[in-house]
């Protein structure tokens, strides 16, 4: 076999892995790799305008499709710019393989031009990383990276490639399979634990199913729906888990957590058996830990043992992949014809319906000023609930999660763990590349959108027509809300005295811009925008500047201590709560 | 909550960066490391890392889970949860002149130490044992007689037939 260069090996590996898109940005250390990409069209390269966007776009692609997102950046600032995206993928367990260029091996450690310790900088925010020091290990390292990124609890893996490695030659052998003695995730749940869990689940008088992003990552939605409907139990999803169970089904009680529904949080607080699936008891979900689910015995299914009993001690832990464990549970229940306590369940549902009747997501409509919630409701209607929605971070993110009812997994794409402003636009581009025939909308705000605006140019170049729904209130709304509630309305640095004309801006990038100022124009504008199938449309909605996200559990509060709307007087949180902000 | 001391022994890939992954994990998650020793094993592809940490039951459980989650970690054992031998090496340079000289030698003998180097005014003593034995020696020696203390950090192995191997 003819030896080929490291750069050529890399491209061959990408083809072996079936990589469709490579999101990247060239530079000195990766010039050989770009040269190897030149004469082929199997791996399509998307030239972003900033490396952070390359990672977010790869995340959007991965989150929408379930495939691995692949990124290529140069050394030094190339990789430091990518770090935010890598950390974002790490927090949300998104499978990525990131290739970073590095200065030649002989110069490593010499403070060479565009040198940073990429494996050192990224170590705390990757599932694993590699520095390739020998061309002979390159292909195998890449195989390992794809394997580690996509198995177990997924996550980003970085491979740092010194320039001389991309030039050196070796014969190309791509291993078909890889086995690591130190890495072997548990997929199948322990039969004894599953049996114990089923007994506890069926003994419940006030059961609650609480599921997170793990269900989506593991493609466990089918099993989740089957189990939930078999039991007729109420179910809530975390922000990361929305879509795993159809939001329009009557058993769904809405999202839980800081801005979750009253019924979801009250059911959590009062349940006697909690069935946690692919969720990690994040602080935005639990509220104050010692007030969390005080009367519940807890079953927790997760593929990552370190997620179990990390924040909340659980009674029956089951390590395994969600579809695998849930299938086993369903089999036990069906085989033994087990039935939940129908009478207790009917009582429980009556209680939940009372909480539901509080209509915690109601808001004061207006004919004068556009309410942001109203825009999301119309977006839901105009897209018939079918669009892929990406979001940035802030109030608009919560409104999108609350008012767009996601009926299928991978329909809702947001930065949950890290909360990265700027995520939404490049993620929408990645999702659109994965599903060119589906409507993709990016729900954003005037703060977030300005962090990744430059990608409007990339979207023009690669023809990824998405609809940008900008809820423009002139404020960093979520921070403003907290300043209103907890800092006596001292709005420090949350008002943008100057904003660009987003319509002109969209047009400058070759897109369509629309400004919507009246509630009566909202639906028409959305219809007009979505009718333009092949254009990116920037819809700039001027919304109520003072609107707040409700319901809300103030920091330090328990799940039963929700504020329902403006009518509730905001009690300022105590000192302990302020620390938790 | 009791903050028990735990001796955790880890078998891991002998690769560049593996040690930093362990050290990083402890600093990133705010866990304590009291001591840490590491060296390759009879199998040159593997390193054995032993560390002493402390924390309540829940913290130790998390530490073990987080360590196991590192891709480079092959296997580990909490030696405090089993019947195990713990050893640490200490080198102490002490003053040794006049009356002190005989006294110091006697003390070293009591603790099973060896005198490795002698000058007219000093002894350099080698001691091995569990950490608390070394602490006791240092307490027994007159404070201003101690010139320098070097400790290797604890290492250990389980008693009986059980062996930690890849």
In tens, the pLDDT along B3-21 reads 899 999 999 999 989 999 9
In chain A, residues with a C-beta closer than 8 Å to the C-beta of B10 are: none
Q: Which is catalytic among the residues A15, A42, A113, A576?
A: A113
Q: Is A148 on the interface with B (CB under 8 A)?
A: yes
In chain A, residues with a C-beta closer than 8 Å to the C-beta of B62 are: 306, 310
CA dist., res. B112 & res. A460, Å (int)? 78
Nearest Cα neighbor of A444 from A543, A306, A325, A362 is A543
| Contact call for A305 and B65, based on CB within 8 A | yes
Burial of A18 (0-12, 13-18, 19+ CB in 10 A): exposed
Question: What are the CA-CA distances from residue A551 to residues A262, A268, A401, A453 (Å)?
Answer: 7, 15, 13, 31
CA dist., res. A210 & res. A197, Å (int)? 15
CA dist., res. B164 & res. B50, Å (int)? 12
**pTM across the whole model:** 0.96
| Contact call for B17 and A305, based on CB within 8 A | no
Which of A100-110 are b and which e, b meaning 16 or more Cβ less than 10 Å from the residue's Cβ?
A: bbbbbbeebee
CA dist., res. A396 & res. A424, Å (int)? 11
Q: What is the pLDDT of residue A575?
A: 55
Is A113 a catalytic site residue? yes
Nearest Cα neighbor of A349 from A206, A249, A236 is A206
Is A504 a catalytic site residue? no
CA dist., res. A350 & res. A524, Å (int)? 39
Mutate to test the interface with B, among A117, A153, A306 (most CBs of B within 10 A): A306
Q: What is the pLDDT of residue A571?
A: 47
Q: What is the pLDDT of residue A572?
A: 46
Residue B22 confidence (pLDDT) above 60: yes
CA angle A3/A6/A12 to nearest 5° reads: 80
CB-closest option in A123, A309, A310 to B20: A123
Please answer whether residues A274 and A208 qualify as being in contact, where contact means their C-beta atoms are separated by less than 8 angstroms.
yes
Q: What is the pLDDT of residue A563?
A: 87
pLDDT digits (tens, 9 = 90+) for A279-333: 999 999 998 888 999 999 999 999 999 999 999 999 999 999 999 999 999 999 9
CA dist., res. A424 & res. A412, Å (int)? 11
| Contact call for B73 and A182, based on CB within 8 A | yes
CA dist., res. A536 & res. A532, Å (int)? 8
Give every CB contact of residue B98 below 8 A, 6+ residues apart in sequence. none
Q: Provide φ and ψ at A37, rounded to 5°.
A: -80, -15
Q: Which domains, ranges and CATH numbers included, belong to chain B?
A: 5-82 (3.30.70.260), 85-155 (3.30.70.1150)
Residue A450 DSSP symbol:
G
Q: Are strands A4-5 and A169-170 parallel, antiparallel or unpaired?
A: antiparallel
CA dist., res. B91 & res. B120, Å (int)? 18
Residue ranges in chain A whose pLDDT is less than 50: 570-573
CB-closest option in A120, A306, A313 to B65: A306
In chain B, residues with a C-beta closer than 8 Å to the C-beta of A119 are: 17
Min Cα separation B132/chain A (Å): 32
Interface size between A and B, measured as CB pairs under 8 A: 40
Which runs of consecutive H residues, i.e. helices, occur in B13-143? 18-28, 57-69, 99-110, 131-140
ipTM above threshold 0.85:
yes
Omega before A5 cis (within 30°)?
no
Q: Is A304 on the interface with B (CB under 8 A)?
A: yes
Nearest Cα neighbor of A128 from B64, B25, B48, B30 is B25
Is A114 a catalytic site residue? yes
Q: Are strands B84-95 and B155-158 parallel, antiparallel or unpaired?
A: antiparallel
Q: Which is catalytic among the residues A255, A478, A514, A562?
A: A478
Q: What is the pLDDT of residue A532?
A: 98
| Contact call for A306 and B69, based on CB within 8 A | yes
Residue B148 confidence (pLDDT) above 70: yes
Name the residue in chain B with its Cα closest to that of A184.
B71
């Amino acid at each position: 076999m003819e030896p080929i260069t490291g750069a050529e090996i890399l491209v061959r590996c990408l083809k072996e892995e079936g990589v469709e898109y490579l999101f990247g940005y060239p530079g000195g250390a990766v010039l050989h790799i770009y040269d190897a990409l030149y004469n082929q069209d199997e791996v399509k390269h998307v030239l972003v305008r900033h490396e952070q966007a390359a990672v977010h776009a790869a995340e959007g692609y991965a989150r929408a499709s379930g495939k691995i997102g692949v990124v290529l950046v140069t050394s030094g600032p190339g990789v430091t710019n990518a770090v935010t995206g890598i950390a974002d993928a790490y927090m949300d367990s998104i499978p990525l393989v990131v290739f970073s260029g590095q200065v030649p091996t002989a110069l490593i450690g010499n403070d060479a031009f565009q040198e940073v310790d990429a494996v050192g900088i990224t170590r705390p925010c990757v599932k694993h990383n590699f520095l390739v020091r020998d061309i002979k290990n390159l292909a195998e390292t890449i195989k390992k990276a794809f394997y580690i990124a996509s198995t177990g609890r997924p996550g980003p893996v970085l491979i740092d490639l010194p320039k001389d490695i991309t030039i050196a030659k070796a014969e190309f052998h791509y291993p078909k399979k890889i086995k690591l003695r130190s890495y072997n995730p548990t997929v199948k749940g322990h039969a004894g634990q599953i049996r114990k869990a089923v007994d506890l689940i069926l003994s419940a008088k006030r059961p609650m199913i609480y599921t997170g992003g793990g269900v989506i990552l593991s493609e466990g939605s089918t099993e989740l729906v089957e189990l939930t409907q078999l039991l007729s139990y109420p179910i809530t999803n975390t922000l990361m888990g929305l879509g795993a169970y159809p939001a329009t089904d009557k058993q769904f009680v809405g999202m839980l957590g800081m801005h979750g529904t009253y019924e979801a949080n009250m059911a959590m607080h009062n349940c006697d058996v909690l069935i946690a699936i692919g969720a990690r008891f994040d602080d935005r979900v639990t509220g104050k830990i010692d007030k969390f689910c005080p009367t519940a015995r807890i079953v927790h299914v997760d593929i990552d043992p370190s997620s179990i009993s990390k924040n909340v001690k659980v009674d029956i832990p089951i390590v395994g992949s969600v579809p695998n464990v849930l299938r086993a549970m369903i089999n036990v229940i069906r085989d033994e014809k087990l039935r939940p306590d129908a009478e207790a369940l009917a009582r429980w549902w009556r209680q939940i319906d009372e909480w539901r009747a509080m209509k915690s997501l109601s808001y004061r409509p207006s004919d004068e000023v556009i309410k942001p919630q109203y825009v999301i409701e119309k977006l839901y209607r105009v897209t018939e609930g079918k669009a892929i929605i990406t979001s940035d971070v802030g109030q608009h993110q919560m409104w999108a999660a609350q008012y767009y009812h996601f009926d299928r997994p991978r329909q809702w794409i947001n930065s949950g763990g890290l909360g990265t402003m700027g995520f939404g636009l490049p993620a929408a581009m990645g999702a659109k590349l994965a599903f060119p025939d589906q409507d993709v909308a990016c729900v954003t705000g005037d703060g977030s959108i300005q962090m990744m605006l430059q990608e409007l140019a990339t979207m023009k170049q690669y023809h990824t027509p998405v609809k940008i729904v900008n809820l423009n209130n002139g404020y960093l709304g979520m921070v403003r809300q907290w300043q209103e509630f907890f800092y006596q309305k001292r709005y420090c640095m949350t008002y943008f005295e100057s904003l660009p004309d987003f319509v002109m801006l969209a047009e400058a990038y070759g897109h369509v811009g629309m400004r919507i100022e009246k509630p009566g124009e909202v639906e028409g504008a959305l219809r007009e925008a979505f009718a333009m199938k092949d254009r990116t449309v920037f819809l700039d909605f001027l919304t109520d500047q003072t609107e707040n996200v409700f319901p809300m559990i103030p920091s330090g509060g328990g799940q039963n201590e929700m504020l329902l709307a403006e009518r509730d007087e905001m009690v300022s949180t105590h000192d302990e709560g302020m620390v938790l902000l | 909550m009791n903050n028990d001391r735990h001796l955790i022994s880890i078998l891991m890939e002998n690769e560049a960066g593996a040690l930093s992954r362990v050290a990083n994990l402890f600093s990133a998650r705010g866990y304590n490391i009291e001591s840490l020793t590491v060296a390759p094993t009879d199998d040159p592809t593997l390193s054995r890392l032993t560390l002493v940490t402390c924390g309540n039951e829940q913290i130790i459980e998390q530490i073990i889970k987080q360590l196991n989650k590192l891709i480079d970690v092959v296997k580990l054992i909490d030696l405090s949860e089993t019947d195990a031998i713990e050893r640490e090496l200490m080198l102490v340079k002490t003053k040794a002149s006049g009356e002190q000289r005989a006294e110091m030698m006697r003390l070293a003998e009591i603790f099973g130490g060896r005198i490795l180097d002698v000058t007219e005014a000093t002894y350099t003593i080698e001691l091995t044992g569990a950490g608390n034995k070394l602490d006791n020696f240092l307490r027994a020696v007159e404070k201003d007689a101690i010139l320098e203390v070097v400790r290797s950090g604890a290492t250990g192995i389980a008693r009986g037939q059980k062996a930690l191997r890849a």
